[in-house]
Structure 1
Amino acid sequence: MNFDFKEIITASLILFAVIDIIGSIPIIVDLRKKVGHIESEKASIVAAILMVMFLFVGEEILSLIGIDVNSFAVAGAFILFFLALEMILGIQLYKDDAPETASIVPLAFPLIAGAGTMTTLLSLRSEYETVNIICAIVINVVFVYLVLKSSGKIEKVLGSQGINVIRKIFGVILLAIAVKLFATNIQNLFS
């Protein structure tokens, strides 16, 4: 076990930017209005299980279908790039049908543990110790749970302008992560 506080903090911040639970508050509030109750515990636990499972077997799944980690990371960089553009420009590139329930499908996957998160986990695995990434996942899932539980209160405190500002800040951070991820892995593909 090689615990590194700096790695845990860095991985936590990267996952926090990718998951973007603060930026998702408007979506969560909308889901709450449509379906009534959101099962925060269930969504958080399922998202954590998905992330940890993908951290350990994601690479094997990719090799099974003939894709190397660098190719997946480059593809993931494009996903993160477009997610960042959505956050910064306030546009929606990916449209999904309105969910009927707000527990696992819209929240745990793809909102919390979506393609961007999975790509990021594989990228983090190539740079950081697994135990530190798991700590980062746990920190983020706890934060996600707290946000899901208190999304109504957070919306009232921040207001729509505050949420938009936070979303744009994390969009820029995510854009920088996407560029770094692309640059690092595109070099590895051609070397």
Structure 2
Amino acid sequence: MAFNIDQLLTITFTLFAVIDIVGSIPLLISLKGKMGGIKTLQATFVSGALMILFLFLGEAFLKMLGLDIRSFAVGGSVVIFLLGLEMVLGHEIFKGDKDAHAGSVVPIAFPIIAGSGTLTTIMSLKANFETTYILAGIMINLGVVYAVLRSLKFVEKLLGPAGLLAVRKFFGVILLAIAVKIFSSNIAAFGK
């Protein structure tokens, strides 16, 4: 089997857009101040463990609920679409848990980094892409998450408010397109 760079790039950018670590910088900086710091390695490890656990055990979990991966992918594509719409329009659709007292695991690892949108996306990607590429995409994103958490103040100064807004909107449009692709490739299976 030949290495497929297109699959890896699609998965990596999809997860990057959904995790939206750059768009979360203002929230993360605020939480860092309230909590007296973020345990960067712990937050990265816990969010990675959740993503990988869902990648390998999510399908078995769905079967227990009587669902197949294509049904989940269609449902997930709707969530991804709404996340993209939220990023482009700037209106909050999903209400986040703002409890900062719980530490680096909650709310930073879950739900900010590995939230329902990320876990849904991983399952949706599994319907269309090989597990090896999804795992690689998760690892690349965990590297980015770790780097951003380590350099929150620097990234904020580098991008500025306008830069953060532009990055968020750009990845919102990408998410909308990916959601349409996942939806259209999986909805056809229901007519057969």
TM-score range, shorter chain: over 0.9
Q: For each residue in 1:124-181, what CA deviation from the matched residue of structure 2 results, as whole angstroms up to 9, or x when unmatched?
A: 2232222221111111001000001111111111111110010000000011111111
Q: Secondary structure at the match of 1:182?
A: helix
Does the 8 Å contact 1:2/1:129 carry over to 2? no
Q: Quick one: which amino acid aligns to residue 179 of structure 2?
A: A
Aligned to 2:110: 109
Partner of 2:10: 10
Cα separation, 2, equivalents of 1:6 and 1:93: 31
**Which residue pairs with 2:82 in the alignment?**
82
Partner of 1:57: 57
1:22 counterpart residue number? 22
Query: How much does 1:102 deviate?
Result: 3.5
SS of the residue aligned with 1:37?
Answer: coil
Cα contact 1:8–1:132 (8 A) shared by 2: yes
Partner of residue 44, structure 2: 44
Cα distance change of structure 1 residues 11 and 97 upon mapping to structure 2, 3 Å threshold: closer
Match of 2:127, SS? helix
Q: Distance in 1 between matches of 2:59 and 2:175?
A: 23
Q: Which residue of 1 aligns with 2:169?
A: 168
Task: Give the structure-1-normalised TM-score.
Answer: 0.93
In structure 2, C-alpha distance between the alignment counterparts of 1:180 and 1:5, rounded to whole Å = 18
Instruction: Identify if the C-alpha distance between structure 1 residues 97 and 120 changes in structure 2 by more than 3 Å, giving closer, same or farther.
Output: closer
Q: Secondary structure at the match of 1:127?
A: coil
The amino acid that maps onto 2:52 is V
> Which has the higher mean CA deviation after the structures are superposed, 66-75 or 95-104?
95-104
Is residue 44–residue 145 contact of structure 1 (8 Å, CA) maintained in 2? yes
CA distance in 2, matches of 1:14, 1:61: 23
Aligned residues between the structures: 191
Q: Quick one: structure 1 residues 158 and 125, their matched pair in 2 at CA, closer, same or farther if it must change by over 3 Å?
A: same
Deviates more, 1:106-115 or 1:124-133: 124-133
| Runs of at least 4 residues off by over 3 Å | 1-6
Letter of the aligned partner of 1:36 in structure 2? G
Provide the C-alpha distance between the structure 2 equivalents of 1:2 and 1:130, rounded to a whole number of angstroms: 15
Segments of structure 2 that go 5 or more residues without pairing to the other structure are: none
1:2 deviates by: 6.5
Between 1:93-102 and 1:76-85, the stretch displaced more is: 93-102
The answer to whether the Cα contact below 8 Å between 1:21 and 1:147 also exists between their aligned partners in 2 is: yes
Say if 1:2 and 1:131, in contact at 8 Å, map to a contact too.
no
Distance 2:124 2:95 in 1: 26
What's the TM-score, normalizing by structure 2? Answer: 0.92
One-letter amino acid matched to 2:180: V
Instruction: Compare 159-168 and 129-138 and name the one that shifted more.
Output: 129-138
Q: Which residue of 2 aligns with 1:184?
A: 185
